[in-house]
Structure 1
Amino acid sequence: MSIWLTPDWPAPKRVQACVTTREGGFSLPPYEGLNLGSHVEDDPQAVEQNRRLLTSTLGCRPAWLSQVHGVRVAQADPSRVDEADASWTAEPGVASAVLTADCLPALFCDRAGTKVAAAHAGWRGLANGVLEATLDALALPAEEVLVWLGPAIGPAAFEVGPEVREAFLAHHPETGQAFRPSANEGKFMADIYQLARIRLAARGVQAVYGGSFCTVSDPRFYSYRRAARTGRFASLVWLAD
């Protein structure tokens, strides 16, 4: 099994974070590797084995979510599966976790290392305020928050329709700079990382890291746009015991 750490995120030592890759695991093609998504028609036993492998390797207890492209934020609890698109915790050893395959995973912590959170931000959730809802749940001063943007679809691959652009412009006119015309008439190329940074900056969060990936072009990660029948990788953050 391969996990990918977040070396460019200057989180306090107590905060642990990682992203999984496809390498290793028990899933067979087309989910080949460490698929952690239980909703993609993979063999449930393989997914469970993959999750057990991850838990034993990391030494934390992931709190999995049933993600619905919304803005609800749950308190992370490994004993249940909440319908939400973000979770937070102040409990050591409990990991806030999100599953993605092109959507944006965002990890949060504070400079003192007392709280962490993870959010799943597809364009709908991002436009509707899932990052802001996560900040509200953490209830921390903006200047104390550190955010890391994990692997997501890159700006050269994220073609969207005009309704996506309008959904962002309706709330933040400055997000227009994150869209450029596509080679296909009437379409736009969107920069999901820039959109996230603009939304976070509007709430006073300036310490934002990561955001230089493209899941579509990077075979280490699952990508729904590259192959619709695919698995999901995880981005996790937790407090060390």
Structure 2
Amino acid sequence: MPSEPTRLAPHPDWLRPDWREGDVEAFMTTRAGGVSGADLPERAGLTSLNLGRSVGDDPAHVIENRLRVAAAIGGAPVFLKQVHGTTVLRLRPGHAHPDADPEPADASISTDPALACAVMVADCLPVLFAGPGVVGAAHAGWRGLSGGVLESTVAAMSEAVDCAPSRIRAWMGACIGPEQFEVGADVLAAFGAEPLHRDQPLFRFQPNEQGEPRWRADLYGLARQRLAATGIADVSGGGWCTLGAPSRFFSFRHERVDGLRSGRMAAVIRLR
């Protein structure tokens, strides 16, 4: 396992949970604080803290950016092979090796202060969790959210340290907001909503320019609903919109606007 990285303060533009307890380190990165995007015009969409390896960035830039995140979190962040699913990976020391090849997963939990949970996003919702002696992170796009990735993460954390979900707190990072997240009837059906009803809780009817039926979905509201059902009462964060603030956040959907590949941000958490 790699040695503990040199400590570096999180960039002041990054988002941080408003948790008074000092038992965890946690943040979500923004575009700020990295080295990507200045070498080629076609990489301008990656400026500056891109953490994704598969978006056309210089691999050396991604390595440096990830090292900065590791230095800020004070441990080894384990980046997952995300597939919009519900699998939760319990982190072990071997997952931090440079040649590690873990199974695909969209959430992780850790009881080891040396191992930080990390999920990458660019419009999907990241959720960070902290409980007694355990932390977790979940990547919750609409597919994972409707499939139960948040519930699976809470269950894995509760089992790992034998604690009730009510003792776990959750924080939602930045995702595409309810004024921008256009979806079709398939997304409503995935959450058990009825497309024949136009305006309904968490889905606002708004046809597109061609007059086709579309809705604006509230990922934050859907996540709060799911988290409350698990027994978690302490839920904070939310309220940002990645698509609406492209100069601050990476946004996959904004690629359609500027024609440039979007980078990836990360939400990271570890035990102290």
Q: Structure 2 length as normaliser, TM-score? A: 0.81
Q: Is the 8 A contact 1:64 1:81 kept in 2?
A: no
> Are 1:197 and 2:224 matched, yes or no?
yes
In structure 1, C-alpha distance between the alignment counterparts of 2:225 and 2:241, rounded to whole Å? 19
Alignment of 1:106-121 (within 5 A): 106-110=127-131, 112=132, 114-121=133-140
In structure 2, C-alpha distance between the alignment counterparts of 1:94 and 1:44, rounded to whole Å? 23
* Partner residue in 2 for 1:64: 79
Once the two structures are TM-superposed, the CA of residue 94 in structure 1 deviates from its matched residue by 1.4
Structure 2 counterpart of 1:31, from 42, 46, 60: 46
* Partner residue in 1 for 2:120: 99
Q: Is the 8 A contact 1:63 1:81 kept in 2?
A: no
* Partner residue in 2 for 1:8: 18
* Partner residue in 1 for 2:197: none
Give 1 or 2: higher strand fraction: 1
The amino acid across from 1:205 in the alignment is I
In structure 2, C-alpha distance between the alignment counterparts of 1:85 and 1:144, rounded to whole Å? 22
Once the two structures are TM-superposed, the CA of residue 53 in structure 1 deviates from its matched residue by 2.2
Q: Is the 8 A contact 2:165 2:230 kept in 1?
A: yes
Q: Is the 8 A contact 2:73 2:268 kept in 1?
A: no
> Are 1:236 and 2:250 matched, yes or no?
no
The percent of aligned pairs where both chains have the same amino acid is 45
The amino acid across from 2:22 in the alignment is K
* Partner residue in 2 for 1:86: 107
> Are 1:147 and 2:170 matched, yes or no?
yes
> Are 1:55 and 2:70 matched, yes or no?
yes
In structure 1, C-alpha distance between the alignment counterparts of 2:119 and 2:28, rounded to whole Å? 10
Q: Is the 8 A contact 1:9 1:148 kept in 2?
A: no
Once the two structures are TM-superposed, the CA of residue 30 in structure 1 deviates from its matched residue by 2.3
Once the two structures are TM-superposed, the CA of residue 217 in structure 1 deviates from its matched residue by 1.3
Secondary structure of the corresponding residue to residue 51 of structure 2: coil
Show CA shifts across 1:47-73 (max 9, x none). Answer: 111111222233211011010101000
Secondary structure of the corresponding residue to residue 191 of structure 2: helix
* Partner residue in 2 for 1:173: none
Show CA shifts across 1:27-82 (max 9, x none). Answer: 11221101001121211121111111222233211011010101000012322353
Structure 2 counterpart of 1:22, from 31, 34, 38: 31
* Contiguous gaps of at least 5 residues in structure 1: 171-175
Q: Tell me the C-alpha RMSD between the 2 structures.
A: 1.8
